[in-house]
Amino acid sequence: MYSYKENGKTVFTALTHINRGSCCGRNCRHCPYTKPRKKGNNMKKKQALYLDDERTPVDALPDHDPWVVVRNYDEFTDWITKNGVPNFISFDHDLADEHTDDYYKQFLEQGYQHPSYDSYKEKTGLDCARWLAEYCQKTGEKINRVSVHSFNPVGGANIQSYINGFKKHMDWDEDCFMMKHKFTDKEGGI
């Protein structure tokens, strides 16, 4: 998608601007170019997307704009559809209470977890990873750097394995890794 309508006006996505090749100088909302935004500037900002239903990262990555935080599958897919694939994505697996509850229930009952994906009403971070792979196949965009910060070890490993498997299939570097970024939770604690 290269544009969408908002309040009767056409809004161009970051992908539209990237395909244009340089900044138009009109201070567009989704301009992917670094400040100062002057006509002809073709220096792109590095974007980082953080998928998590509860946590918010504290510090921006070096040489990146502050994190864009999305809380669920719909926000994740909408943001990428409007802005394109960012330079960096960090995934959480459990995006709803039912995912966390399932993890703890199974772990306490049997000592390990096997996510009950078929029974979940809400989509997980793995569903987001699957959507991202399909999106990249349709659009030709590349999945860049990816980390998994999930506290669910099985779900996190599933995302890491899926992303690296897709990257291998595409003949890209298999560089998805586990990393916990410093964060605040819903109550503001670190």
Question: Of 50-54, 102-106, 136-140, 143-147, which gets the smallest average pLDDT?
Answer: 102-106
Assess contact for 125 and 95: CB atoms under 8 A.
Answer: yes
> What is the value of pTM for the model shown?
0.74
CATH C-level class of 46-184: alpha beta
Tell me how far apart the alpha carbons of residues 96 and 117 are, in angstroms, rounded to a whole number.
12
Token pair for residue 48? 């980082």
- pLDDT, residue 81, reads 95
Tokens of 187: 């109550």
Q: Residue 54 and residue 58: Cα distance in Å, rounded?
A: 13
Say how many Å lie between the first and final Cα of the chain, rounded.
37
pLDDT number for residue 112: 75
- Per residue in 92-122, pLDDT tens? 999 988 888 888 888 788 887 788 888 899 9
Q: What residue segments make up the domains of the chain, in order of their start?
A: 1-45, 46-184
